[in-house]
Amino acid sequence: MTVSPMTAMGESLRPVEEALLERGRQEAAQLVDAGEADARRTVTEARAEADRVLAQARAEGEAAAGRAAFADLLVARSEARALILGARRRGFDSLRSGAIHELEESRETPQVRSLTDRMTTLARGLVGERAVVRCSGPGGLDVIAEANGRRVVVRLEALVDHELGAMGDDVEGLWA
């Protein structure tokens, strides 16, 4: 049997062909290895970035939650203060109205008559000794003095307010 020249040439090129194939396989393996290494590096970098973003988001979330909690605390404190001040105001108003009511109910007692006399003396001293003095207001416990076109009104409520103000810390201690 005779071998054709093409076959003979093919046979002689077989080592070259195998060498080229082997080289192609090696280059392909290197490209695959390089691609896999690149993919691993990209995945590692992506995971690291995701961890960084997650940590930053967590920190920002915690900070935001802390700010929100602090804001809520400030609102709660403000509301509590408003409630306390409202309760104190109601307590003070009750004390004030109770004192005025007690004085009005006790207007015939010597102590309240003495208070009315001192209010009259005060009003007359401010307007003049020739003042016309009369009582008015609830329970007749306000004093009005008039003379020479001048008029002074000494109100029981004003005296109670003055006395409660003068008591200062003693009254404030009622709410503590």
Q: Residue 155: exposed, middle, or buried by beta-carbon count in 10 A (0-12, 13-18, 19+)?
A: middle
Q: What pLDDT was estimated at residue 147? A: 94
Q: What pLDDT was estimated at residue 176? A: 64
Query: Is 108 a residue whose pLDDT tops 60?
Result: yes
In this structure, are 20 and 89 located in the same domain? Answer: yes
In this structure, are 97 and 133 located in the same domain? Answer: no
Whole-angstrom CA distances from 166 to 68, 86, 128, 171, 176 are: 43, 21, 27, 9, 18
Does the pTM surpass 0.85? The reply is no
Q: What pLDDT was estimated at residue 123? A: 93
pLDDT tens, residue by residue, 122-171: 999 999 989 999 988 877 788 999 999 999 999 988 888 888 888 887 77
Range of the domain at 21: 1-105
In this structure, are 132 and 92 located in the same domain? Answer: no
Of 105, 122, 157, the domain-final residue = 105
